[in-house]
Amino acid sequence: MLRRYLGPVVFLAALAIAPAAHALVTAPAPPPEAVASAGPIDPQRATDAYLAKVPPAQKARSDAYFEGGYWLLLWNFLFSAAVALLLLSSGISRRFRDFAQQRVRWSPLRTGLYWVLYLVTTTVLTFPLTVYEGFFRERKYGLMNQTLGPWLRERGIELALGIVFGGILMMVLYGVLRRAPRTWWLWGALTGILFLMIGEILGPVYIAPLFNKYTRLSDPAIREPILRLARSEGIDARDVWVMDASRQSKRVSANVSGFLGTERITLNDNLLARCSSEEIQAVMGHEMGHYVLHHVYKGTLFFGVVIVVGFAFVRLVFDRLTATRGVRWGVEGVGDLAGLPLFFLLVSAYFFVLTPVLNTYIRTEEAEADLFGINAARQPDGEAEVDLKLGEYRKLDPGKLEEIVFFDHPGGRSRILMAMRWKAQQAARP
């Protein structure tokens, strides 16, 4: 019985520890300049000095925003679970299936029609939480530049993409589920992995431009140092891309995206507007680290394994639940469209419990990219300064368990400490 509650128990234990993790009061830290001029660099003191640059009110605001996200992780899971159970217990999902069967004879199109009904219904039911989390909460914390109209337009684009690409996925997946009654979990997992790879290929070229404008970085004073850095690391880069993220928020970011030839390194216009050349170099070194270390390919392999195990879990639990409640829900088996809410409920529960595992894997890759970037760009203070800017919406100084459970990037203290250790080692070299 305890296994049913393992995920929520771990979640709530970390949640309870988080706010008290750094309640001890410490003496004010000297500024970074004072640390640097005081002789050999002490990485811990230098890190404390950087963190002390953040005003207490700003730090409290950032901590409150990020810690609120812990609860949202739980509420999103519980809300989606409640919607799934509502669709099953009320017979809505069964009626959607019957409606599709009565109006469409070809099985794939029948699946597509059911998917449209399902997706639109769940989108409407979850919309109050979506609009609070994605719009009103972001504006409350000063992270949102959009007004409600443009934000709703983007959600409409997401819904349209979900109907088209999700519909194609569901048609293929349910074709597999019906034709392989014994081994559907394995073939279904391979289908999921295939679509994951397709999404990584198409995303940077066809999907991302629907939300932001991508242009080549034209300023040679910024572009050429980035390209020299890329070539020094064996990256045959010809372009650096800029996205107009400022139309949505003031967050600074960059990313490496793509797969099998569609890879591109992109920085957002907030990074250009708000950061020094040293900070930009540090960020781009990090993103090049993802590219050189093949994190896209490694991540695809890792999440492929996660998907296979997830489908095996769904097979085990789905069959047991439908054996006892299938008649009441009107679900005859895994290939029955009426069982899709149950399928998604089990998948979401699986990923909810795996939150610390998934975050740890991603955080490890991010730490590897940090180390690569600091060695490539050689900008430790640029790294520290940009980490403080990221701290506007990420908690800078989390507790250890808190970081393991909730952080998909190293905490700000960890990242700055890494940079200061690198700086100290370089200063100590003969």
pLDDT at 262: 64
pTM, to two decimals: 0.86
Distance of alpha carbon 397 from alpha carbon 406, whole angstroms:
13
- Residue 100: Cβ within 10 Å count: 22
pLDDT digits (tens, 9 = 90+) for 199-211: 888 888 888 899 9
- β-strand pairing of 241-243 with 264-268: parallel
pLDDT at 4: 41
pLDDT at 40: 80
Apex 395 CA angle, 392 and 396, nearest 5: 90
User: Do 46 and 423 touch, CB atoms closer than 8 A?
Assistant: yes
Distance of alpha carbon 76 from alpha carbon 345, whole angstroms:
12
pLDDT at 5: 38
pLDDT at 313: 96
Q: Which residues of the chain have pLDDT under 70?
A: 1-39, 258-263, 430
Which of left, alpha, beta for 48 (phi over 0: left; psi -120 to 50: alpha)? alpha
pLDDT digits (tens, 9 = 90+) for 54-109: 999 999 999 999 999 999 999 999 999 999 999 999 999 999 999 999 999 899 99
